[in-house]
Structure 1
Amino acid sequence: MPFKNLSPHARGVLITFLGGFALSFDIPLVRLASGEVWSILTVRSLCTMLLVAALWIGLRLRDGKAPVMLPGLPGIAVALLYAISTVFFLLSVFNTSTANVAFILAFNPMFGALLSWIFMGEKPRPITFAAMAAMTVGVVIIVGSSLEGGHLFGDAMAGCSALCIAAALTLSRASGRDFGYTPLVATAISAMIGGLLIVDTGFVISNPFWIILNGLIVTPFAFWALAVGPKYLSAAETGMFYLLETVLAPIWVWLLFAEQPPVATLIGGGIILAALVWHSLASVSTTDPAPTSPDTA
C-alpha cells in the first residue's frame, strides 16, 4: 500500500519504527569505524553539522527563510546539553559493553520524569514511580557487575548521557519553544570539543566510511523520524519505539563482534526492558488519542 494511502496513525507507526530501527545501528557503526574516541566524535559530528548546514541553506534558497536553529538563550543551553550528552555517549561506548550502554541509556525517560517533578512540579504517576524503582534495581545489577569487570567509568558515562538528554528535553518543554533543530545544531559544539582533544591524541580512524555513513545519514534520519512521531502518535507510543535501540543494538554488536553480554547485564537489562514496556503500555492505555495529522484536519 502506498505511503500516502496509509492512515495518519499508520504513517506515524511506520516512520517512528524506521527511526528507532535506524538508531539501533548507531553503536555498531561507531564500533565498525574502529577509531579513537575523539576522532570518532569529530567526524560523526562534522558530518551531521554539514548536512544540517546544507539543509538550512536549501530551505533558505527555496522559501526565502529558514527555521530558527537556536531559539534564544534556552536554545543555547539545550544545545550544550545535547553536545555534552554526545561526548558522554561516545565515552561510554568506548569504555563499557554495548548492552550496558543501551540498557542504562534506557533510563532517560525516568530521569526526565524526575527532573520534570523537581523543576516543573509535574509529579509522576504511581506507575512511573513503580517503573523507576524496578529500573533502578536493573541498573544496580548492571553496575554491580561492572565493578568486577572494570567498566564502571563507561557505565557512569552512559548514565550521564541519559541525564543530559533528559535535562535537555525538560528544559525544552519548560521553555515551550520549538527545539526541533537544536539537537542537530549541537553537533557543531561536539565537533569543536572533539577537534580540540584530537590535538593530544592524533587522528585515528581505521574505517572512516562507517562513521561518515552514521553521521551523514543514519543518525540524522533516526532523530528526524523519531521527532516526527509525536505529530501522529501519542508521546507514550513514540517512546516505545526508542526501545528498538535498547533491544537491537546489543544484538547487532553480538552478531558483528561476538560481544556476548554478561549474565548480570542480561538480568538487569531484562528488568529495565520489562519495566519500560509495562510503563509504556500502561501509559498508552491511559493517554489521550494521538494528535490528528494536519493533512487530515
Structure 2
Amino acid sequence: MTPYQKGLLITGFGGLVLTIDIPLIRLGGGDAWSAQFTRSGLGLVIALLCWVFIRLRQGKSVSLLPGRAGMVVAAFYGLSAIAFVAAVFNTTTANLVFILTSTTIFSALLGWVLLRERPKTATLITMAIMVFAVFLIVSESIQSGNYFGDLCAVAASFGLSMAIVFARMSGKDMGFAPMIGGILPLILATGVLLSKGGVSAFHLDAAWWTIANGAIVIPIAFWCLATGPKYLSGPEVAMFYLLETVLAPIWVWIIFSETPTRNTLIGGTILIIALIGHSLWQLRSERKRRSAERDELAANIS
C-alpha cells in the first residue's frame, strides 16, 4: 500500500466515523448540559490517557499544548464545542451540518485579515454562493422566530475557524488541542448542572450512546482526520469533511424520520455542489503546481 493510499484509507475512515457524531448525541437524548459534560469529559480523559501512553512509549516529554498559542486554540475549540452541542439540541441536523460548512467562509476571511492570505477569485465566488445558500437555510428559522439553534451552529463554525487560523499562525503541533479544549465546556456544564441540583440534574435518556461518542467516536475521528495531512494535500483532506454534511442528515432521517425542509434541501444542495466544485478546482491547481515544481527540478538537475 502506497503512502497516498494509506492516507486515503485513514482520512476516509475518519470522515466516515465523524458522520455518526450528531446521531449519537441525539440517541443519547437527555439535556444539552448533561450531553456536554459527558462528551467533553470523556474526550478529555481519552486525550490525557493517550498523552501518558505516548510519553511512556517514547520515554520523553510530550507537550499537550504548545504555550499560549495552544491555550488560545484550545479555548476556541472549547467554545465551538459548547455552541455545537447547543445547536444539536435546538435545530435540525440538516440545518446544523449545512451551516457548519460556513467554516470554509470564516476560515478564508480570517486568513485574509490575520494572515494576509487573500483568497483567489474562485474562492471568493464560492464564498458568495455559500453565503447565499446559508441565508436560504436559516431564512425559515428567522421568519418563525426559532433561530437560536441556527445561531449556535454559526457560532460553532466561527469558533472552529478561529481555532484553525490561530493554529496555522502558530505553526505548532495542535493535535491535542480539540480534546484539551473540552475543559471549557466541561467546567461550564459542571457549573450549570451543580446550580440545578448536582447529580440529580444530570440526565441522559440513553447514556451509553453519548459515552460511546465521547470515548470512541470523537477521538478516532479527529485522530484520523488530523493524520490525513501527512499523506494528502489540504484540499483532499477537506473533501472528507463533506461526508458529515452529506451523511449525517441521512442517518438522522433513517433513525428519527427527521425530514429536511425545502429551503434546507435547496440550500444544502447548493453548498455541496459549490464545495465539491471548489475542492476539485483546488486539487487541479495543486497538481499543476506540483507538476511544475517537478519539471523545474528535473530541468535544474539536467
TM-score category, normalised to shorter length? over 0.9
Task: Indicate the residue corresponding to 1:293 in structure 2.
Answer: none
In 2, Cα distance between equivalents of 1:161 and 1:151:
17
Does residue 222 of the first structure (1) align with residue 221 of the second (2)? Answer: yes
Shift of 1:117: 0.2
Task: Indicate the residue corresponding to 1:31 in structure 2.
Answer: 26
Mapping 1:133-152, distance limit 5 Å: 133-152=128-147
Task: Indicate the residue corresponding to 1:79 in structure 2.
Answer: 74
Structure 2 counterpart of 1:252, one-letter code = W
Task: Indicate the residue corresponding to 2:42 in structure 1.
Answer: 47
- Kindly provide the CA deviation profile for residues 156-207 of structure 1, in whole angstroms up to 9, marking residues without a partner as x: 1101111111111101111111111111111122211111111234111111
Q: CA RMSD in A?
A: 1.3
In 2, Cα distance between equivalents of 1:289 and 1:185:
36
Mapping 1:208-247, distance limit 5 Å: 208-247=207-246
Asked if 2 retains the 8 angstrom alpha-carbon contact of 1:39 and 1:194, the reply is: yes
Name which one, 1 or 2, has greater alpha-carbon Rg. Answer: 2
Question: TM-score, structure 1 length as denominator?
Answer: 0.93
Mapping 1:1-297, distance limit 5 Å: 6-201=1-196, 202-287=201-286, 288-289=289-290
Structure 1 counterpart of 2:227, one-letter code = V
Structure 2 counterpart of 1:264, one-letter code = N
Question: TM-score, structure 2 length as denominator?
Answer: 0.92
Q: Share of identical aligned residues, percent? A: 42
Q: Which structure 2 residue ranges, 5 or more long, are not aligned?
A: 292-302
Identify if the C-alpha distance between structure 1 residues 199 and 147 changes in structure 2 by more than 3 Å, giving closer, same or farther.
Answer: same
Asked if 2 retains the 8 angstrom alpha-carbon contact of 1:35 and 1:204, the reply is: yes
Asked if 1 retains the 8 angstrom alpha-carbon contact of 2:28 and 2:205, the reply is: yes
In 2, Cα distance between equivalents of 1:200 and 1:252:
35
Asked if 1 retains the 8 angstrom alpha-carbon contact of 2:51 and 2:64, the reply is: no
Asked if 2 retains the 8 angstrom alpha-carbon contact of 1:234 and 1:289, the reply is: no
- Kindly provide the CA deviation profile for residues 86-127 of structure 1, in whole angstroms up to 9, marking residues without a partner as x: 000011111110000000001112210100001111000011
- Kindly provide the CA deviation profile for residues 134-175 of structure 1, in whole angstroms up to 9, marking residues without a partner as x: 101101101111123443111111011111111111011111
Structure 1 counterpart of 2:278, one-letter code = H
Paired residues, number:
285
